[in-house]
Amino acid sequence: MINRVYCCCSALRPRYKRLVDNIFPEDPKDGLVKADMEKLTFYAVSAPEKLDRIGSYLAERLSRDVVRHRSGYVLIAMEALDQLLMACHSQSIKPFVESFLRMVAKLLESGEPKLQVLGTNSFVKFANIEEDTPSYHRRYDFFVSRFSAMCHSCDSDPEIRTEIRIAGIRGIQGVVRKTVNDELRATIWEPQHMDKIVPSLLFNMQKIEEVDSRIGPPASPSTADKEENPAVLAENCFRELLGRATFGNMNNAVRPVFAHLDHHKLWDPNEFAVQCFKIIMYSIQAQYSHHVIQEILGHLDARKKDSPRVRAGIIQVLLEAVAIAAKGSIGPTVLEVFNTLLKHLRLSVDFEASDLQGSSACSTALSTSSKDSDEKIVQNAIIQTIGFFGSNLPDYQRSEIMMFIMGKVPVFGTTTHNLDISQLGDLGTRRIQIMLLRSLLMVTSGYKAKTMVTALPGSFLDPLLSPSLMEDYELRQLVLEVMHNLMDRHDNRAKLRGIRIIPDVADLKIKREKICRQDASFMKKNGQQLYRHIYLGCKEEDNVQKNYELLYTSLALITIELANEEVVIDLIRLVIALQDSVIINEDNLPMFQRCGIMALVAAYLNFVSQMIAVPAFCQHVSKVIEIRTMEAPYFLPEHIFRDKYTLPKSLEKHDKNLYFLTNKIAESLGGSGYSVERLSVPYVPQVKDEDRLSRRKSIVDTVSIQVDILPNSVPSDDVVSNTEEITFEALKKAIDTNGIEEQEKEKRRLVIEKFQKAPFEEIAAQCESKANLLHDRLAQILELTIRPPPSPSGTLTITSGHAQYQSVPVYEMKFPDLCVY
């Protein structure tokens, strides 16, 4: 009777329920009843409108079995759901999917690891199914949260922990694939989802232990690695996520990386950060590289007050990103990159200067020294990044960057630079000058221009040469090295390294081409400016061996790259003038500097004589060098530029055979067809305003001399000689050097302030009055010179240069801006 009632009840139940019940065996160990499963599948395919009811009933049974901990029946139900999903692709599958996702969510919420893994596997299978039509109402917020939580599993059993983490990563990978292929894929890129997905993947990538980091393009790891190693699986999922990112959602995928690195303090050390951004740069589409660089720059700005090592870590990450982006598309961020880096370079120097000023107590000396070294790490990282970025730019962009950096180099007394140095002080300003010039040196490395006008346009040459007159030998060295990078178009600089007497220049195998018309025009326009800076640079009192080596290389490169007959004559005039200045020693240079200049002159004349191959010239140079080797070795670079050297007490008693003679050189070159008329004219550099602007002590400052005429009534015993001879030495003694530099600085400041703030009409009126006053003074001087003297009581003898003027009547006479060379 009971069996009859049961049969009647079963017959009255809906068919889909009966088919679902039949797939479950009495003993769950027997597994799914395959014959009944085939009937259920055929029924679902034949009547797709019943799919939602089948799904709802399966979900009901599965929920009941989960609560009752009937794991066997749960496995059978999920297997049946998977088979139905794979078999059905009709419009009616949408309601069935909702039931399926509810069942997966039920499994993920359970506390049993096996059920969580089972639900994840079913979801991954579902994610691989391509649906015919998009779903406009389905969301995966719960799955993103749940899978992310599984990625951070902290189960006490290592095997279970690894299994759950792998399931969580595979679940995230399934969500990404499902949503990216869906029409509504934009939902997964929302910040609230990315803030969970990306850190979960990075957390597992960070747990890598003794596994080779894959920092290049995506590799092909084995299937076993993918399934067993959470770090490898997370990395591949991360690559896949970034590879699917588009223009609009790139930033949402990158920003959580910064948050993760900040939270876990992974900028110092930054190996993992570098690895992450290499993966990012290789995974994204090349045209979006500049987005990542912009995000790194923005994060650097946000962390500008952090410790130096954190900032250095971010900058090194930027360097790696730039290195990869430079091979493809950098986009419109070129100037932004350099501007941000230079801004942080100034900040680093500012921090360093403020620390030095604030560290007066002995107890803080150690920590301050450590912080200074950390700031130097930041500065070196910035310079390295600037150099690498600049060296990978095309030539037209590199020229703009060179101008951009040069425009930020501060020169004392000028306001042409656009970098704020008001808070740095002299020490900080010097430091920022060195850092910027080192950056410029890195950018110009490897730069090859067809013509010198392209490499050194006037707008770049003038500001570049200004630091070459500063009273800092390191700054002058950097300027010369930048010049060498731009001048050396045939890679000859390495062959010229080290100042020495070269026995045979032909052995160097120097590469050169005939000077073109553009380069000849460049030398006509800018040659005197280059000569002047080399001349003045040689006469600096703080020059060391490297300065003379670089100056020698400058002369040699000009000879190789830019010299025609006219330029050769000018260069010879230049070095002969240097030799004469050492003999006369008007600048009171130390003996080492005087001998260093002599050695420089000998090395260059030896080089140029062999380059132009005039036998008589070579013979004269060789003879002088031979005599110096025997009698005055301190005039040769091999002696003066070694660790232990001896210096003479004076140069006054030296024989003229130790010097290079202008008449001998002119005779030898004239016999070979050179126009040597200009050799008889001594080279004299023109002093310009930039000497003062660059804080260089001027050769001659403004001198005012007043000679009083003694009245005839003064007794003869007290009468001083009415005729006074004024020489250059007398003028030098008349100059009070104390406070002149401070007065010049104050004077320049007042002039600049006046031109900035005074009305234009006032400035114009004052300039006109000064011009009229100068005209009147010149007229008075001419009148005094032509008019016969009223009495012989007062005469003045002036000796200057090669001319001597006598019997000039003197009353009260002032010489404004008297310059003597």
pTM of the model: 0.70
- Looking at 110-189, list the stretches that DSSP marks H as alpha helix, in order from N- to C-terminal side: 113-127, 141-151, 158-181
Residue 736: pLDDT over 70: no
Spatial distance between the Cα atoms of 584 and 596, rounded to a whole number of angstroms:
15
Spatial distance between the Cα atoms of 10 and 724, rounded to a whole number of angstroms:
140
Spatial distance between the Cα atoms of 156 and 288, rounded to a whole number of angstroms:
42
Spatial distance between the Cα atoms of 464 and 475, rounded to a whole number of angstroms:
11
Residue 739: pLDDT over 70: no
Question: What secondary structure letter does DSSP report for 653?
Answer: T
Residue 9: pLDDT over 60: no
Of all helices (H) and strands (E), which one includes residue 800? strand 795-800
Q: Contact 178/127 with Cβ under 8 angstroms? A: yes
Question: What secondary structure letter does DSSP report for 48?
Answer: G
Spatial distance between the Cα atoms of 288 and 744, rounded to a whole number of angstroms:
54
Q: What is the pLDDT of residue 413?
A: 53
Q: What is the pLDDT of residue 408?
A: 86
Widest CA span in the chain: 165
Region 716-724: mean pLDDT is 37
Q: What is the pLDDT of residue 483?
A: 94
Q: Which of 821, 588, 808 is nearest to 705 (CA)?
A: 808
Residue 1: pLDDT over 60: no
pLDDT tens digits for 644-663?
Answer: 788 888 887 778 889 999 99
Q: Tell me the one-letter amino acid at 347.
A: L
Half-sphere exposure of 431 (CA within 13 A, CB side): 23
Half-sphere exposure of 5 (CA within 13 A, CB side): 2
Residue 179: pLDDT over 50: yes
Mutual orientation of helices 191-206 and 230-243 as an angle, nearest 10°?
A: 140
Candidate from 520-524, 671-675, 723-727 with smallest mean pLDDT = 723-727
- Would strands 723-726 and 795-800 be described as parallel, antiparallel, or unpaired? parallel
Residue 199: pLDDT over 50: yes
Residue 432: pLDDT over 70: yes
- Residue 85, token pair as written in the block: 């999903």
Spatial distance between the Cα atoms of 278 and 281, rounded to a whole number of angstroms:
5
Spatial distance between the Cα atoms of 394 and 326, rounded to a whole number of angstroms:
10
- Residue 754, token pair as written in the block: 């006046």
Residue 185: pLDDT over 90: no
Of all helices (H) and strands (E), which one includes residue 795? strand 795-800
Residue 719: pLDDT over 70: no
Spatial distance between the Cα atoms of 419 and 423, rounded to a whole number of angstroms:
11
- Would strands 803-809 and 795-800 be described as parallel, antiparallel, or unpaired? antiparallel
- Looking at 456-544, list the stretches that DSSP marks H as alpha helix, in order from N- to C-terminal side: 458-465, 473-487, 517-538
Q: What is the pLDDT of residue 222?
A: 52
- Residue 372, token pair as written in the block: 């200074």
Q: Contact 608/572 with Cβ under 8 angstroms? A: yes
Q: What is the pLDDT of residue 714?
A: 33
Residue 237, SS3 per DSSP: helix
Residue 449: pLDDT over 50: yes
For the chain, the average pLDDT equals: 78
Q: Tell me the one-letter amino acid at 167.
A: A
Region 450-461: mean pLDDT is 90
Residue 120, SS3 per DSSP: helix
Spatial distance between the Cα atoms of 107 and 105, rounded to a whole number of angstroms:
5
The CA angle 31-167-165, to the nearest 5 degrees, is: 135
Q: What is the pLDDT of residue 704?
A: 31
Residue 345, SS3 per DSSP: helix
Region 576-586: mean pLDDT is 92
Residue 569: pLDDT over 90: yes
Of residues 369 and 392, more confidently modeled: 392
Candidate from 378-387, 410-419, 702-711 with smallest mean pLDDT = 702-711
Q: What is the pLDDT of residue 813?
A: 40
Residue 710: pLDDT over 60: no
Mutual orientation of helices 308-325 and 365-391 as an angle, nearest 10°?
A: 10
Spatial distance between the Cα atoms of 161 and 152, rounded to a whole number of angstroms:
9
Region 329-338: mean pLDDT is 69
Candidate from 171-180, 358-367, 675-684 with smallest mean pLDDT = 358-367
Percent of the chain with pLDDT over 90: 33
Of residues 567 and 749, more confidently modeled: 567
Residue 494: pLDDT over 70: yes
pLDDT tens digits for 238-247?
Answer: 999 999 888 8
- Residue 319, token pair as written in the block: 């360097």
Q: Tell me the one-letter amino acid at 391.
A: S
Q: Which of 556, 542, 638, 557 is nearest to 598 (CA)?
A: 638
Of residues 74 and 138, more confidently modeled: 74
Q: Which of 327, 331, 315, 458 is nearest to 382 (CA)?
A: 315
Residue 461, SS3 per DSSP: helix
Residue 226: pLDDT over 60: no
Q: Contact 220/199 with Cβ under 8 angstroms? A: no
Residue 365: pLDDT over 60: no
Confidence grade of residue 518 (pLDDT, cut at 50, 70, 90)? very high
Beta bridge partners of residue 797, listed in sequence order: 725
Q: Contact 805/797 with Cβ under 8 angstroms? A: yes
Of residues 121 and 416, more confidently modeled: 121
The CA angle 366-368-369, to the nearest 5 degrees, is: 65
pLDDT tens digits for 385-418?
Answer: 888 888 778 888 888 888 888 888 887 555 555 5
Question: What secondary structure letter does DSSP report for 686?
Answer: P
How does DSSP assign 743-792, residue by residue? HHHHHHHHHHHHHHHS-HHHHHHHHHHHHHHHHHHHHHHHHHHHSPPS-T
Spatial distance between the Cα atoms of 425 and 344, rounded to a whole number of angstroms:
17
- Residue 509, token pair as written in the block: 């195998």
Q: Contact 431/474 with Cβ under 8 angstroms? A: no
Q: Contact 189/241 with Cβ under 8 angstroms? A: no
Q: Contact 200/168 with Cβ under 8 angstroms? A: yes
Spatial distance between the Cα atoms of 586 and 584, rounded to a whole number of angstroms:
6
- Give whichever of 28-37, 424-433, 631-640, 684-693 has the largest mean pLDDT: 631-640
Burial (CB < 10 A; 0-12, 13-18, 19+), residue 584, is exposed
How does DSSP assign 175-216, residue by residue? HHHHHHHSTTGGGGGSHHHHHHHHHHHHHHHHT--S-----S
Spatial distance between the Cα atoms of 545 and 133, rounded to a whole number of angstroms:
78
The number of beta carbons lying within 10 Å of the beta carbon of residue 460 is 18
Q: What is the pLDDT of residue 83?
A: 80
Q: Which of 240, 234, 120, 104 is nearest to 169 (CA)?
A: 234
Of residues 413 and 672, more confidently modeled: 672
The CA angle 660-661-662, to the nearest 5 degrees, is: 120
Q: Using DSSP, how many helices (H) and how many strands (E) does the chain show?
A: 34, 3
Q: What is the pLDDT of residue 806?
A: 40
Q: Contact 634/648 with Cβ under 8 angstroms? A: yes
Q: What is the pLDDT of residue 814?
A: 39
Spatial distance between the Cα atoms of 618 and 612, rounded to a whole number of angstroms:
9
Q: What is the pLDDT of residue 690?
A: 52
Spatial distance between the Cα atoms of 634 and 645, rounded to a whole number of angstroms:
8
Residue 624: pLDDT over 80: yes
Spatial distance between the Cα atoms of 150 and 173, rounded to a whole number of angstroms:
13
